[in-house]
Amino acid sequence: MYRYLFVGEQVNKRKSDIPFDKRYNSGKFLHDSIIYLENIEWIKVDFDNIYKGRKLNKSIKRKQYKYNEIIALGRVAEKELNRMNINCIYVPHPSFFKRFHSKEGINKYSQIILEAIANG
């Protein structure tokens, strides 16, 4: 099985306690963009955030070895993962992409994720 961990910055407490809840905002956009990965039986996709409340989520350091690739969603996640000496692949955060590239849509964001993983 091939395993991906997508790491964002922090949960949107106003909507959900689940990292990238697929019912809301950036979580919905991200899930819609990677639906092809989530539906492949030999691929497992998990989600987490670099911060739990105001503290650094150190559990990512322990569980990093369970994943073939860790994808940093945004520069904040990338910076913190790098400071923790965790190798990661950078992809723009879904909220950034929605805000500044919404006309390009989900297909373009999907392509960015695929290219980042392929070039990882």
Domains defined for the chain, CATH in brackets: 2-119 (3.40.470.10)
Confidence (pLDDT) at 117: 84
Confidence (pLDDT) at 78: 97
Confidence (pLDDT) at 106: 78
Confidence (pLDDT) at 81: 97
Number of Cβ atoms within 10 Å of the Cβ of 78? 21
**In a 10 Å sphere around its CB, with 0-12 CB exposed, 13-18 middle and 19+ buried, how is residue 117 labelled?**
middle
Kindly list the distances between the CA atom of residue 1 and the CA atoms of 10, 14, 42, 98, 116, in Å, as whole numbers in the listed order.
27, 34, 5, 31, 20
3-state secondary structure of 92: coil
Confidence (pLDDT) at 11: 61
Confidence (pLDDT) at 91: 94
Distance of CA 73 to the CA centre of its chain: 4
Confidence (pLDDT) at 21: 55
Confidence (pLDDT) at 101: 77
pLDDT profile of the chain (120 residues), mean per 10:
87 56 68 74 86 88 93 96 96 83 78 84
